């Protein structure tokens, strides 16, 4: 079975206090800009700072400080290792910009467990666009019913995946235990 994981909020966390503006609002801005292109974020952040009347240098500095605090939720690396060892094929579908590469380099051993890594800045689509999910399914060469989408955001991860016929697991890394994923996967397997 193929498991497609979201990253932010599902597997990894960032210190939102490091950002001087609303992270969700900035991420919405990113979905139409740097998250759809393989470019550095500074020019887009500068435009955002102007639009919101924020100090450009403070915003850029705090954005990169936020990325430096990115870390896996506790027990997630062990969960991914276990799922991989049990024969699940692991994939990523995440809305993010080029900055994710720094985190990947620091955690190469964990990211090597994933067969495909699909980032919005590379595929040109952001979730909840159905095209993002279709692109990943095509790349994987599988049908929707052969996959489980695991994500923290109902609107971005769960609803569009269900619309395409994927199984889904709503999982919020900050408030749930990885064992919840294992339990829900067992329930899904019973239905197959």
User: Hey, which residues does 90 pair with through a beta bridge?
Assistant: 3, 114
| 0.85 surpassed by pTM | yes
Beta strands in 128-182 (DSSP E): 147-151, 167-170
Please state, in angstroms and rounded to a whole number, the distance separating the CA atoms of residues 143 and 43.
Answer: 39
CATH architecture of 2-13+72-191: 3-Layer(aba) Sandwich (3.40)
d(CA 46, CA 23): 15
User: Cis bond leading into 128, ω under 30°?
Assistant: yes
Q: Is the dihedral of CA 185, 186, 188, 192 positive or negative?
A: positive
pLDDT for 16 equals 67
Which of 139, 132, 103 lies closest to 31, judged by CA? 132
- For 56, the token pair is 């450009």
How does pLDDT run along the chain (192 residues), one tens digit per residue? 999 999 999 999 977 666 777 777 888 888 888 899 888 888 899 999 999 999 999 888 888 877 778 899 999 999 999 999 999 999 999 999 888 998 999 999 999 999 999 999 999 999 999 999 999 999 999 999 999 999 999 999 999 999 999 999 999 999 999 999 999 999 999 988
Q: With contact defined as beta carbons under 8 Å apart, do 23 and 16 qualify?
A: yes
Find the helix or strand (DSSP H, E) in which 181 lies.
Answer: helix 179-191
**What is residue 157's three-state secondary structure?**
helix
Where in the chain is CATH 3.40.50.1000? Answer: 2-13+72-191
Q: Which residues contact 106 (CB under 8 A, 6 or more apart)?
A: none
User: Strand, coil or helix: what is 134?
Assistant: helix
């Amino acid at each position: 079975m193929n498991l497609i994981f979201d990253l932010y909020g599902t597997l990894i966390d960032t210190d939102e206090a490091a950002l001087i503006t609303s992270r969700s609002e900035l991420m919405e801005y990113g979905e139409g800009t740097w998250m759809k292109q393989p470019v550095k974020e500074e020019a887009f952040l500068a435009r955002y700072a102007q639009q919101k009347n924020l100090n450009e240098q403070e915003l850029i500095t705090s954005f990169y400080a936020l990325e430096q605090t990115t870390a896996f939720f506790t027990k997630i690396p062990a969960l991914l290792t276990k799922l991989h060892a049990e024969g699940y094929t692991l994939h990523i579908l995440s809305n993010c910009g080029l900055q994710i590469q720094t985190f990947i380099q620091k955690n190469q051993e964990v990211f090597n467990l994933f067969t495909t890594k699909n980032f919005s800045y590379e595929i040109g689509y952001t979730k909840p666009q159905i095209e993002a999910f279709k692109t990943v399914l095509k790349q994987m060469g599988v049908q929707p019913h052969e996959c489980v989408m695991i994500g923290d955001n109902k609107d971005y991860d769960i609803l569009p995946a269900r619309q395409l016929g994927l199984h889904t697991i709503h999982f919020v890394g900050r408030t749930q235990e990885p064992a919840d994923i294992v339990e829900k996967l067992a329930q899904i397997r019973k239905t197959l």
